[in-house]
Structures are given as structure tokens and as C-alpha cells.
Amino acid sequence: MRHFPPRRIVCLTEETVETLYLLGEQDRIVGVSGYAVRPPQVRREKPRVSAFISADIPKVMALEPDLVLAFSDLQAAIVADLVRAGIDVHVFNQRDVAGILAMIRTVGALVGCAERAGHLADGFEQRLAQIAATPRPSPKPRVYFEEWDDPLISGIGWVSELIEIAGGEDVFPELRHRQSAKDRIVTPEAVRAAGPEVILASWCGKKVVPDRIRMRDGWDDIPAVRDNRIVEIKSPLILQPGPAALTDGLDAIVAALWPERV
């Protein structure tokens, strides 16, 4: 039997988990991604049923979900198995700030609290506008965001946008619309030529090692390396397209770009 709003939801990525908690609808969640860490109590309260590109399908089925929330083509294989098993699935595909805000509103609509979700999204939107309007010194610091180190992969859409909102200039803005990581591969020479003044790194859950960045051939003449402005931003803050990126993720970028003003 299907229920509306759905009473039993499995979230295969972390941003829908955080959104449901912020909406006060966490009691509907019966299973989460192993990467879900926000809010901290989720690790105690909810059973983990998936990684990012794999899931324990029997475990998901045993939870008898009314709805499974997933993200992007990267989870297409998991989703296909669930659909064949007769489970209702909603797959989000947000890759930019507007998409994140739409995801929040959609999650709210799916659980019957569209008005509350609208207020939440409006609040985030106003916060982004306030930070974007903050007076900053000129010129804008040039920023290279490194999402992976081998090969070098530059920041996805929402990350590039948040750099600009924080008062920086992404050195590879033309890549922000490429949703696939392989389409955002850059060469070490291209980064050298771009001459970023700040390097932000978040290696998809792997710990960033600044010395490895410093020791790359010819990178000692990059301003960010020369001036020791290599900053790790933890993956859960910036690489999940949800509330975390719009709050703590953006704050971390602001702190990295404007340390004297924090």
C-alpha cells in the first residue's frame, strides 16, 4: 500500500537526509547512505543501507520504503534494481545552486510540507544574497578548486557558483556546466597558467595532503603555493549538493578567501 505523504523513506545520498531533518520530517527516514553525517545524530538514529554507487538492495527492500530518494546517473544502476522491484523512486539531478534550492522545495512537496520547505529555501536564498552583497576588496582572488588529485578535476557547478558568491573568481568557470567529473579534468599546466591565488581542495572524502600539491612540478611559482594558501574543505561540507554546501561549505570558502575578515 502506498501512503501520502510517504511514511518510510530511504535516502541514498546525504543532502536529502539533511533536508528532511531541517524540515522536522526525520521520523520518515528508515535508511540512509553510509556517507550521511549531518546532523551528527543521524549516524546513531538511522540504519545505513548504501555507499554512493552501490546499495544493499535486500536491506533496502526489508525496510519496506514507500519512497527512495537518489541522486544522478551515478546511482542509475541502484535505482534500476529498485524500480524493477516495484519501489517508488525519485532521482534528483541538481548540479547548481538553483537546483539545490529546487531540491529542497521538491523534498518538502514530496512529504507534504511544501510551505515549510519554501520558507527554508527562501532563507538560504536570502543568506546567499547577503553574502554575495558583502563589500570585498578588489581585485577578486583567483581560486582553483580541486575535487580530485589524480587526475586533477576542477569544481562542479554549485562549487564554482559558491566561490563567486564568496567574492572569489573561479579560474575555470567554463567547466562549471559539465556535470561529469571526467569532463572537468584539467592539466597541471593549465592550473599553472591560470595562476590561482587560493587553492581549495576537497578530494571526494580522501584527506587532502597540501605537500603533494606543493611538490607538483612547476607549481612552486603559482601564487597560492608560494603564499601557502592551500586550504582543505571537508567533503561533507562542499561536495554534497544540499544545505551543507549553502551554509558551512560557503562559510568555509569565505574563511579561506578572506581570513583577515573572519
**Would you write out the chain's pLDDT as a tens digit for each of its 262 residues?**
678 899 999 999 999 999 999 999 999 999 999 999 999 999 999 999 998 888 999 999 999 999 999 999 989 999 999 999 999 999 999 999 999 999 999 999 999 999 999 999 999 999 999 999 999 999 999 999 999 999 999 999 999 999 999 999 999 999 998 878 899 999 999 999 999 999 999 998 899 999 999 999 999 999 999 999 999 999 999 999 999 999 999 999 999 999 986 5
User: DSSP letters of 108-157?
Assistant: HHHTT-HHHHHHHHHHHHHHHHHHHTS---SSPPEEEEEEEETTEEEPPH
What phi and psi, each to the nearest 5 degrees, are found at residue 3? -115, 145
- Cβ-based neighbour number of residue 207 at 10 Å: 8
**Tell me, what's the pLDDT at 180?**
86
What sign has the CA pseudo-torsion 188, 194, 197, 198? negative
pTM to 2 decimal places: 0.94
**Tell me, what's the pLDDT at 177?**
87
**Tell me, what's the pLDDT at 172?**
97
Q: What is d(CA 229, CA 187) in angstroms, rounded to the nearest whole number?
A: 20
Nearest to 3 by CA among 110, 82, 107: 110
**Tell me, what's the pLDDT at 75?**
94
As given in the structure block, the three cell numbers for residue 255 are 574563511
Nearest to 210 by CA among 221, 190, 223, 224: 224
Q: What is d(CA 79, CA 66) in angstroms, rounded to the nearest whole number?
A: 14
- Cβ-based neighbour number of residue 75 at 10 Å: 23
Give SS3 for 200.
strand
Q: What is d(CA 187, CA 171) in angstroms, rounded to the nearest whole number?
A: 13
**Tell me, what's the pLDDT at 179?**
79
How do residues 104-123 score in pLDDT, each as one tens digit? 999 999 999 999 999 999 99
Is the CB of residue 216 less than 8 Å from the CB of residue 188? yes
Q: How many residues does the chain have?
A: 262
Q: What is d(CA 209, CA 144) in angstroms, rounded to the nearest whole number?
A: 16
